[in-house]
């Protein structure tokens, strides 16, 4: 897992995978879901969207690192915008159920999975797994015209039924569970970054020889429930940029097979994204300039170097650097993106970029920030 994605809205609903659920939505121009080169008009659908049904706890809810053991949790199904069927009026429906009904021909995600191997901590448990929740993301690329899709969900087995009166006992139990979940999340992620990743250096309880690299990317990997979560169509890499006041980190990315999405986000060492509305704490492929040699280069620095692809540290001396690449179908390893970085003096940034890199003016930066501020307000509005 990595920091939250500044390009994303995250959504989640607890379910009983033995029942059937219908998710409905209404989207704007979505031609780019089938044709990446399509010219779209506002309002435009999010650049990418995914729905995932999973069995087990949400990453971190257990408070115990053993939840990362392979086979402890399972994804029962997923569907992304590359294959979602949308009606001519922009509406769509997705059925989540243990099995596809014989008369259902539309979008479908299974909430059932038969496991081939026994549960690693409960070998007596049967092989049948039913989803405990639906989760997903809407990813935004062009923040100037893309708008969030409002979703609704209903349990088809209980439509029209009146639920039991909300009792004080139920309220008290849910409050206790909420408090315990918050405690578990803090415990889990502190252990994850301290012990498994060695983020904060050697200290009691850390593993010898394990340390999160500074200014050097770790090995790229596929996201999954056994790696702390993350969008299952993502490839991840990461490093910590450790920069002095007059230093910058140049990240160079060569893409061999075009992904549905590419973006780079910065976060603090508590795993939280940096400011991305009033500052440029992230930059995706649509917001970045691709150099004439086909490579994408980001410049991470405390101050504006006067180039378009600057990503702002917000003054943090150390920041998580989290690039992401989304593929509906994971390519072969030989076709994975290549990413590397190097630390340079801030005053010499241009010496390490292509000579035809244009200057990005303060007026252009102000206009860029204006777009970000407006989009973030719209994205997270509650009506």
d(CA 133, CA 52): 8
The pLDDT assigned to 3 comes to 80
Q: Do residue 323 and residue 235 come from a single domain? A: yes
User: What is the mean pLDDT of the segment spanning 57-85?
Assistant: 94
Task: DSSP letter for 308, please.
Answer: T
Quick one: tokens of 238?
């990461």
What's the CA gap between 223 and 200, in Å, rounded? Answer: 23
* Mean pLDDT calculated for residue range 279-294: 97
Residues 77-128: pLDDT tens digits? 999 999 999 999 999 999 999 999 999 999 999 999 999 999 998 888 899 9
Cβ atoms 9, 331 nearer than 8 A: no
Q: What's residue 303's pLDDT? A: 98
- Amino acid 270: pLDDT: 87
Q: What pLDDT was estimated at residue 368?
A: 98
Domain boundary among 131, 155, 179: 155
Residue 177 lies in a domain: no
Q: Does residue 180 lie within any of the structural domains? A: no
The beta-strand segments (E) located in 156-270 are: 221-222, 234-236, 239-242, 247-254, 261-267
Shared-domain flag, residues 232 and 367: yes
The stretch 328-351 carries a mean pLDDT of 96
Q: Is 350 exposed, middle or buried (0-12, 13-18, 19+ CB in 10 A)?
A: middle
Domain at 302, CATH number: 2.60.120.1600
What is d(CA 41, CA 28) in angstroms, rounded to the nearest whole number? 8
Please indicate, yes or no, if residue 169 is contained in any of the structural domains: no
* Whether residue 251 sits in one domain with residue 146: no
Scanning the chain, the segments in alpha helix (DSSP H) are 168-191, 362-379
In a domain, 171, yes or no: no
The answer to whether 82 and 233 are in contact (CB under 8 A) is no
Cα distance between residue 330 and residue 354, in whole Å = 31
Instruction: Tell me if 351 sits within 8 A of 32, measured CB to CB.
Output: no
pLDDT at 170 over 90: yes
| Confidence at residue 150, expressed as pLDDT on a 0 to 100 scale | 95
In a domain, 99, yes or no: yes
Pairing of strands 91-97, 107-110: parallel
The closest alpha carbon to 228, from 200, 263, 191, belongs to 191
Question: Which CATH number do you get for residue 131?
Answer: 2.60.120
| Whole-number percent of the chain with pLDDT over 90 | 86
User: Does 164 map to a domain?
Assistant: no
Structural domain ending residue among the three candidates 113, 136, 155? 155
Residue-wise pLDDT for 185-217, tens only, equals 999 999 999 998 899 988 888 888 788 889 999
Query: Distance (Å, rounded) from C-alpha 143 to C-alpha 122?
Result: 46
Confidence band, pLDDT 50/70/90 cuts, at residue 181: very high
**What is the pLDDT at residue 17?**
98
- The model's pTM: 0.93
d(CA 93, CA 79): 12
Tens of pLDDT, residue by residue over 332-341, are 999 999 999 9
The pLDDT tens digits of the residues spanning 225-281 come to 556 667 888 999 999 999 999 999 999 999 999 999 999 999 999 889 999 999 999
Domain identity same for 225 and 365: yes
How far from chain centre, in Å, is Cα 56? 19
Which of 105, 138, 155 is the C-terminal boundary of a domain? 155
Residue 63, Ramachandran bin (φ over 0: left; ψ between -120 and 50: alpha; else beta)? left
Domain limits for position 53: 8-155
Spatial separation of the C-alpha atoms in residues 256 and 337, rounded to whole Å: 6
Number of domains, the chain: 2
Amino acid 224: pLDDT: 66
Parallel/antiparallel/unpaired status of strands 133-139 and 8-14 = antiparallel
Q: How far is CA 319 from CA 7, 57, 273, in A?
A: 18, 28, 9
Cis peptide before 43 (omega within 30 of 0): yes
- Tokens read off for 350: 């241009």
- Torsion angles phi and psi, residue 118, rounded to 5: -70, 160
Strand partners, 318: 242
Mean pLDDT of 131-156: 97
The reply to whether 214 falls in a domain is no
The whole-number pLDDT of residue 230 equals 75
Q: Are residues 142 and 262 in the same domain?
A: no
């Amino acid at each position: 897992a990595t920091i939250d994605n500044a390009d994303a809205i995250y959504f989640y609903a607890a379910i009983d995978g033995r029942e059937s659920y219908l998710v409905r939505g209404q989207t704007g121009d979505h031609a780019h879901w089938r044709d990446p080169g399509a010219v779209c008009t506002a309002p435009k659908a999010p650049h990418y969207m995914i729905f995932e049904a999973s069995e087990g706890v949400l990453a971190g809810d257990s408070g115990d690192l053993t939840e990362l053991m392979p086979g402890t949790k399972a994804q029962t199904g997923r569907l992304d915008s590359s294959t979602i069927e949308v009606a001519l009026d922009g509406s769509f429906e997705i059925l989540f159920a243990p099995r596809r009904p014989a008369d259902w021909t539309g979008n479908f995600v299974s909430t059932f999975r038969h496991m081939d191997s026994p549960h690693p901590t409960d070998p007596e448990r049967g092989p049948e797994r039913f989803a405990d929740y639906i989760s997903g993301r809407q990813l935004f690329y062009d923040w100037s015209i893309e708008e969030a899709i409002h979703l609704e969900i209903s349990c088809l087995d209980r439509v029209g039924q009146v639920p039991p009166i909300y009792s004080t006992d139920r309220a008290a139990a849910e409050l206790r569970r909420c408090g315990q979940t918050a405690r578990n999340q803090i415990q889990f992620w502190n252990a994850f970054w301290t012990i498994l990743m060695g983020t904060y250096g050697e200290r009691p309880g850390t593993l010898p020889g394990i340390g999160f690299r500074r200014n050097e990317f770790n090995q790229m990997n596929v996201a999954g429930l056994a790696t702390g979560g993350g969008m299952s169509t993502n490839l991840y890499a990461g490093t910590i940029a450790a920069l002095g006041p007059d230093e910058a980190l140049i990240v160079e990315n060569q893409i061999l097979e075009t992904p549905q999405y590419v973006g780079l986000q910065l976060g603090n060492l508590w795993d939280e994204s940096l400011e991305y509305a009033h500052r440029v704490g992230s930059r995706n492929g649509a917001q970045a300039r691709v150099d004439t040699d086909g490579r994408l280069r980001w410049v991470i620095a405390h101050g504006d170097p006067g180039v378009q692809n600057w990503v702002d540290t917000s003054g943090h001396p150390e920041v998580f650097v989290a690039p992401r690449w989304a593929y509906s179908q994971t390519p072969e390893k030989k076709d994975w993106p290549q990413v590397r970085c190097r630390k340079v003096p801030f005053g010499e940034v241009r010496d390490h970029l292509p000579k035809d890199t244009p200057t990005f003016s303060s007026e252009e930066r102000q206009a860029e920030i204006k777009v970000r501020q407006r989009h973030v307000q719209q994205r997270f509005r509650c009506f």
